[in-house]
Amino acid sequence: MPADVPFYWTLSPDIDQISTPLLLWSSSTYGISERKKNKGKEVVTDKARCSDSRIVWIRSTVRLAQSGIIQLALVAVVAVWTIGHSTTCSRSGATVPKHDASRIRLPFETSSQAARAAALAFLTTAASQNSRQWPNVLTSALAFLLGLGRLVLRDAKWRRIALHQLNVLLVATLALLVASDLLPLVEVGHSLRLDRPVAGALGSLAGAVLIALVTPREWLSPTLVNQTTTPFTLPEAKPSPEETCSWFASIISFQWISPLVWKGWRLPVEISDLPSLPWYDEPLWVLSNLIKARAKYNKSLWTIVRFQRTEILTMAAWIVVDFSSELVGPFATYRLLEYIAAPNEAALHPSIWIFLLFAGPMTRTVAFQQYVFTSTRLIVRIRSGITQELYHKAMSSLEPEDDDTINQATATATDAAGKRQSATTKAGRMANLMASDTDSIVRARDIVRVGVGVPTGMVITVIGLYRVSLH
H/E segment holding residue 170: helix 156-177
143/131 Cα distance (integer angstroms): 20
Instruction: Provide the pLDDT for residue 383.
Output: 85
Question: pLDDT digit string (tens) for 345-366?
Answer: 788 888 888 999 999 999 999 9
CB 421 within 8 A of CB 348: no
How far does CA 265 lie from the centroid of its chain?
33
Instruction: Provide the pLDDT for residue 428.
Output: 57
CA neighbor of 449 nearest in space, from 357, 340, 312, 329 = 312
CB 170 within 8 A of CB 215: no
- Could you give the C-alpha distances from 272 to 123, 263, 269, in angstroms and in order? 52, 12, 8
With b for 16 or more beta-carbon neighbours within 10 A and e for fewer, the 402-419 pattern comes to ebebbebbbebbeebeee
CB 55 within 8 A of CB 348: yes
Q: What is the mean pLDDT of each run of 10 residues along the chain (471 residues)?
A: 39 38 37 36 44 71 87 89 70 58 80 92 90 90 89 79 89 91 79 82 93 88 64 76 87 86 86 84 85 81 84 91 90 88 83 90 92 89 83 65 54 50 54 63 78 88 81 65
50/35 Cα distance (integer angstroms): 12
CB 244 within 8 A of CB 219: yes
Q: List residues bridging with 36 in a β-sheet.
A: 43
6/43 Cα distance (integer angstroms): 18
CB 433 within 8 A of CB 386: no
449/9 Cα distance (integer angstroms): 62
CA neighbor of 300 nearest in space, from 205, 193, 404, 203 = 404
Q: Is-above-0.75 flag for pTM?
A: no
Instruction: Provide the pLDDT for residue 54.
Output: 65
DSSP label at residue 319: H
Domain ranges of the chain: 1-32, 38-220, 282-471
**What phi, psi does 349 have (nearest 5°)?**
-70, 140
Give the CA angle between residues 256, 148, 129 to the nearest 5°.
Answer: 110
Length of the chain: 471
Instruction: Provide the pLDDT for residue 150.
Output: 84
